[in-house]
């Protein structure tokens, strides 16, 4: 595992985007000019301070940006709890979209130092806004409980796509086909041309991990070292688990069904190449009237992560049940 993580970090270094460095440089110049300290000024630290947003010269505090964006998703939420959760969001160095919007995340530590870690990516596809409602609900709920597992929620991985209401990012790349799987160079474009008939919604990019949003997701994997990943989508109405073969816990709201995985997809990158299980939630476009299914699902994930951390002998026993 250590070896794999090292190679991931090398990969990240190799793929460092010169355009992004230039952007960070430009931000640094702006910072110098206006004597404002910004989140991007240092590559070494995390910060919750005010980022520069792409649509104006105004400096908007990250917490405000978070409340503003997450409040727009449909469904119920608690203003106070959301504001409290958003006051804690942070940005990993370099985690910004093509258009320069920060990609922030929320962390909640588990009960012990050894707590397994769950990483949630919501809105990899910008036009799947129901995913944002679930990411928001989990941030809120985590704010009010002391969870067994440590959780990191990235509620909007593709902010440009969200703004433009597109599946892809601003470079028209499907981020869930852009992860640098081993077969990417050989198969990603061929697969796109043949199997998805060059559907522009599924364009994998010209190079693997070419997109800043994909690079940000990889930075989270490198930084947080998750034991389990949840990726939230719409509209296929299923739960798809790429992980060890287990009898899935009962969940009435969505059936369990395997959807397969593709060159450049997160499931192939993390489970098939790194043995970190990935639960893909494919929601219905219409959200349920209450958040109860998401509460139940969060608990189910807790159980799955527990199973994942069992010994092989224990796993075999669960399988028999």
Q: In what order do the strands lie in the sheet with 102-108?
A: 90-96, 102-108, 150-154, 117-122, 228-233, 278-282, 238-242
Closest CB to Zn ion among residues 232, 276: 232
Q: By CB under 5 A, which span of 62-70, 150-158, 231-239, 265-273 interacts with Zn ion? A: 231-239
The residue among 123, 128, 117 whose CA lies nearest residue 103 is 123
Closest CB to Zn ion among residues 262, 294: 262
Cβ-Cβ contacts under 8 Å for 303 (sequence gap 6 or more): 249
Closest CB to Zn ion among residues 64, 127: 127
The residue among 305, 275, 281, 311 whose CA lies nearest residue 151 is 305
Regarding 233 and contact with Zn ion (CB under 5 A), the answer is yes
Closest CB to Zn ion among residues 108, 233: 233
d(C-alpha 206, C-alpha 192), whole Å: 12
| Closest distance to Zn ion from the beta carbon of 277 (Å) | 18
Residues 166, 124 contacting (CB under 8 angstroms): no
| Closest distance to Zn ion from the beta carbon of 254 (Å) | 14
Regarding 261 and contact with Zn ion (CB under 5 A), the answer is no
The residue among 274, 269, 238 whose CA lies nearest residue 254 is 238
Closest CB to Zn ion among residues 189, 233: 233
| Closest distance to Zn ion from the beta carbon of 280 (Å) | 8
Closest CB to Zn ion among residues 100, 161: 161
| Closest distance to Zn ion from the beta carbon of 192 (Å) | 16
d(C-alpha 109, C-alpha 149), whole Å: 7
d(C-alpha 309, C-alpha 320), whole Å: 17
| Closest distance to Zn ion from the beta carbon of 201 (Å) | 10
Cβ-Cβ contacts under 8 Å for 10 (sequence gap 6 or more): none
Q: If binding means CB under 5 A, how many residues of this protein chain bind Zn ion?
A: 3
Give me the residue whose beta carbon is nearest to Zn ion: 233
Q: Which of 88, 108, 125, 220 binds Zn ion (CB under 5 A)?
A: 125
The residue ranges that bind Zn ion (CB under 5 A) are 125, 128, 233
């Amino acid at each position: 595992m250590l070896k794999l993580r090292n190679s991931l970090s090398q990969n990240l270094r190799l793929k460092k985007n010169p355009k992004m460095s230039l952007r960070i440089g430009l931000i640094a110049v702006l910072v110098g000019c206006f004597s404002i300290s910004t989140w991007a000024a240092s590559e070494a630290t995390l910060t919750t301070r005010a980022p520069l947003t792409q649509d104006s010269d105004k400096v908007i505090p990250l917490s405000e940006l978070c409340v503003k964006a997450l409040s727009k998703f449909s469904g119920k939420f608690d203003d106070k709890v959301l504001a409290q959760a958003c006051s804690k969001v942070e940005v990993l160095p370099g985690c910004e979209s093509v258009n320069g919007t920060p990609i922030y995340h929320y962390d909640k530590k588990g009960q012990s130092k050894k707590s397994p870690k769950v990483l949630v990516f919501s809105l990899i596809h910008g036009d799947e806004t129901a995913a944002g409602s679930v990411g928001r609900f989990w941030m809120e709920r985590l704010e009010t409980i002391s969870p067994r597992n440590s959780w990191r929620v990235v509620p909007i991985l593709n902010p440009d796509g969200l703004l433009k209401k597109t599946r892809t990012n601003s470079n028209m790349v499907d981020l869930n086909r852009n992860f640098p799987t081993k077969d990417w160079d050989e198969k990603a474009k061929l697969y796109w041309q043949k199997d998805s008939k060059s559907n522009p919604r599924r364009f994998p990019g010209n190079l693997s991990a070419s997109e800043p949003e994909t690079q940000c997701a990889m930075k989270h994997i490198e930084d947080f070292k998750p034991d389990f990943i949840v990726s939230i989508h719409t509209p296929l109405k299923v739960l798809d688990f790429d992980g060890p073969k287990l009898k899935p816990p009962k969940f009435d709201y969505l059936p369990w069904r395997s959807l397969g995985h593709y060159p450049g997809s997160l499931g192939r990158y993390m489970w098939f190449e790194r043995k970190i299980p990935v639960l893909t939630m494919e929601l219905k476009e219409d959200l349920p009237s209450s958040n109860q299914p998401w509460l139940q699902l969060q608990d189910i994930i807790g159980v799955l992560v527990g199973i994942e951390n069992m010994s092989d002998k224990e796993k075999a026993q669960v399988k028999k049940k």
